[in-house]
Amino acid sequence: MDQGAHWAAEGELLEAGSRITTFSTSPSDEGQNQPEDEISCQVRKENPEKGDLQDSSASLSPNSSMTTKELQEYWRNEKRQCRQVKLLFEIPSTRIVEHHISKYVMYTIIILQTGSFDSNKSVIERRYSDFEKLHRNLLEEFSEEMEDVTFPKKTLTGNFTEEIINERKLAFKDYLRLLYSMKYIRRSEKFIDFLTRRELQEAYGCLRGGHYTKALEILLEVIGLQERLTRGNPVAIVPTLCAIVVCHKDLENPATAFEYGEKALLRLHMHTSHRYYMPLLEMMITLAYEIGKDFLSLQEKMEEWKAKKDPVRVFTLKELAVREYVQ
C-alpha cells in the first residue's frame, strides 16, 4: 500500500473511531450530578505484542505510527471492550416492611434510559432475597461470566441498621450495572424476569380477576421497560401488548385496543406460527369491524393462515392472556 492510500485508509478508520464515545457526560451534565458510568467498559487485558495502548490520544493521532491493520485491530478491541450503556440503575431509597413473623428491607430501583427525561423511567421494588435468587439463578447459567461478580453477603446482626442498608444500596446499584454491562446476561430471561416478572404477575392476576383498570395501569408501566430490555427480540413483548388489547377491549376502548393490536401484529409479521398470531388476528377483525376500519386485509391473512395450518383448536386472545403467569 503506498503512503497516500495508507493515510486515506487510516483517516477513514480514525473518523469511524471518533464516533465511539467513551464518556457521554457533557459539560452541561457535570453540574447536575449525572452518573459518570454512562459507558461500561470491561477491564482491558494487556496485549503482550502491542502493549496496552494506554495513550489513546496519541494512538488516534493522524501522525500515529500504527499501520492500517493495527488500527483495525485496535478499534475491534475497543468495540468489544466498551459499549454505550442504554440503561442506568439507581437505588435512591428503601423502606422496612414488617409482617407478623417477618421483617425485610425493600429497595426502590429506578431504571433510566440514558439521555431521557424522567417520563421514561421505570420504578420497581425488590428485597434482598430477590437479588439473592437472581444471583443464584445467574450462577447456574453464567458461571464463567459471573466468576468475578461479588454479591453482598447477609450479616447475622445489623441488617436493618442505616449503615448496612446504605452499603447495600450502593452494592446493589453497582451489581445491576455490572450485570447489565454483560451482553449475554442483560439479554437473558432470568435478568429480564427479575426486573419485570413481579409486576407482570400482579397485572395478570388483576386481569384474571376482572380488574382491568388496575391490570392496564400496571401493564402500561411495565411495557416501556420490557421494550428497552428486549430491543433485540421484539416478539418478546407480544403477550404484554395483547394483554393490553384485552384490557382496553373489556373497558370498551376499541380504538385504543386496535392501536395496541397493530403494534403486536407488526411484531408478528415474520412469526405467523406464534401462538398469539391467530387469536390476535381474530380480535383485530372484531375490533376493526366495531370501529369502522378496513378488516378485509386482516380477513385475508386469517384465511391464508388457515390454508397453511392443520385445523387445531385455537384459544381466543383473552383465553391466552389469562393463562400467562399462572402459578
Residues 149 and 108 in one domain: yes
**Domain edge (last residue) among 157, 187, 217:** 187
Residue 134 lies in domain: 87-187
Residues 108 and 221 in one domain: no
Task: Note the pTM of the prediction, 2 decimals.
Answer: 0.72
Residues 202 and 256 in one domain: yes
Q: Which of 132, 136, 127, 135 is nearest to 109 (CA)?
A: 127
Residues 214 and 310 in one domain: yes
| In a domain? residue 141 | yes
| In a domain? residue 30 | no
Output the tens digit of pLDDT for each of the chain's 327 residues. 544 544 444 444 444 444 433 333 333 343 344 433 333 333 333 344 444 434 443 334 444 455 666 566 655 655 544 444 489 999 999 999 998 888 999 999 999 988 766 567 899 999 999 999 999 999 999 999 999 899 988 877 778 899 999 999 999 999 999 999 999 999 999 999 999 999 999 999 999 999 999 999 999 999 999 999 998 899 999 999 999 999 999 999 999 999 999 999 999 989 999 999 999 999 999 999 999 999 999 999 999 888 887 666 779 999 999 999 886
Residues 230 and 301 in one domain: yes
**Domain edge (last residue) among 133, 153, 187:** 187
| In a domain? residue 232 | yes
Residues 206 and 295 in one domain: yes
Q: What is the CATH number of the domain that holds 266?
A: 1.25.40.10
**Domain edge (last residue) among 187, 211, 227:** 187
Residues 132 and 168 in one domain: yes
- Please tell me the total count of domains within the chain: 2
Residues 226 and 183 in one domain: no
| In a domain? residue 269 | yes
| In a domain? residue 19 | no
| In a domain? residue 82 | no
Residues 120 and 231 in one domain: no
Q: What is the CATH number of the domain that holds 130?
A: 3.30.1520.10
| In a domain? residue 18 | no
| In a domain? residue 104 | yes
Residues 120 and 236 in one domain: no
Residue 278 has a pLDDT of 94
Residues 207 and 275 in one domain: yes
Residues 314 and 202 in one domain: yes
